Amino acid sequence: ARARGRRRGQRALLLHVGAAGLVEHEAVLDRVHAGADRRACAEQAFGVPPEIIVAIIGVETSYGRITGRYRVLDALVTLAFYYPPRAEFFRKELAQLFLLQGETFPYQLDEVMGSYAGAMGIAQFMPQTAIEVGLKDPFDPFQAIPASAKFLRRLFDQFGNLGLAAAACTGGDPTPGPS
């Protein structure tokens, strides 16, 4: 009974925090969902429900509050050269991180904090994905949320289902296993 009450309390807390995340980013979510920003309408209006974007950001970073405590550069170097099973993937991500640096990326690479796997920002983009969706500042909600919508839309087009797209976005395997 005690565990059930604790789970109920955790669920209520998550719902409260999720609702707060939706309210906190309401303006940018409305812009992404409806394409109200005329300059970026064609690029940002991807038809992804704002609740899906907020849910993914909630899962990834607790609505942007916890974006990581590892230096992204260190994480990628370590995984690229000391984790043989995925070394090729992380070497490519490390190369992409260096490509991010420049006039458009507002941070020094040795200062960027993220996940132990090298993901960064409020939506936890890997460097390659950030480049693919044109994300300049992964910590800025006004850039990261539209980039998330763009990324989700691309996955939706690939998998044909928003649930599968969300699973792929959060690191799940969207392909059905053997029957």
Write out the catalytic residue numbers.
Answer: 60
Residue 120: strand pairing partners: 114, 125
Q: Is the distance from CB of 43 to CB of 150 less than 8 angstroms?
A: yes
Which residues, at least 6 apart from 130, have a Cβ–Cβ distance to it below 8 Å?
A: 96, 100, 120, 121, 138, 147
Q: Is the distance from CB of 152 to CB of 56 less than 8 angstroms?
A: yes
Q: Round to whole Å and give the CA distance between 55 and 50.
A: 8
